[in-house]
Structure 1
């Protein structure tokens, strides 16, 4: 069966291989100059700029940010595995992702419902965040794994 194209939600134009190349380049280096991206995908800078604008408008590209490793920001990090009392729990998940210490949150299949990466200025803060997560309605179990060193990413 041929692969179905991914359609951009707002304009219903299919996302093609060039869009995917652009996204991959931005994923690796969000500050890559248009000139470099254009040369890599074989388009004019203006065409790449238009594609990036379309990807932003469609909600595919939602932002650019600097990721600071906790060890360089004087902070501490942990991965928290959360089991919910039942799924889905959109209100509980919304409260989790609204916490400013939450860097990433993934919904998982299997015995663990959520994988949450948290970061704070110090280890005591990690404990406070963990306590907040444990107290949320809809959370049945929380397991915390402190990050010792970032190997990639």
Structure 2
């Protein structure tokens, strides 16, 4: 991965819907070259997907952080089960008393509660503590 790849990734992180023409103009390459680079970054799994960010508060939904303590570490099967849940937005592995911080969201509070319940009963999860997110000051 070179400097131009890093520029392309940063542009797509800010706005995944940027036209190839805009990206090409910013990084100084032809659209076909940018298209090839993006395809390679996807094939190498450096770019793993694109998603819509939803204003949950406008959709009547909610988000939460679930602090998870595991029976032991590492537990890759538990992490795979957690990140496979459709309500999971992010999963952070930590050093310290808390093993994982998991951000979940749903367009309904009932869906959020169901997601939290699914996570807490995964074998290997000792404790799950939920904190409702009231406001995000920076998206990303």
TM-score (norm 2): 0.90
Give every structure 1 segment of 4 or more consecutive aligned residues whose post-TM-superposition deviation is greater than 6 Å: none
Per the alignment, residue 129 of structure 2 pairs with 143
- Unaligned ranges ≥5, structure 1: 1-14
Give me the CA root mean square deviation: 1.4
Larger deviation: 70-79 or 125-134? 125-134
Per the alignment, residue 10 of structure 1 pairs with none
Structure whose alpha-carbon radius of gyration is higher:
1
SS of structure 2 residue aligned to 1:111: coil
| Whole-angstrom distance in 2 between the partners of 1:128 and 1:63 | 25
Is 1:28 aligned to 2:47, yes or no? Answer: no
| Alpha-carbon distance, 1:49 to partner | 1.1
| Whole-angstrom distance in 1 between the partners of 2:42 and 2:81 | 26
TM-score (norm 1): 0.83
- Unaligned ranges ≥5, structure 2: none
Would you say how many aligned residue pairs link Structure 1 and Structure 2? 139
Structure with the higher fraction of residues in helix conformation: 2
SS of structure 2 residue aligned to 1:79: strand
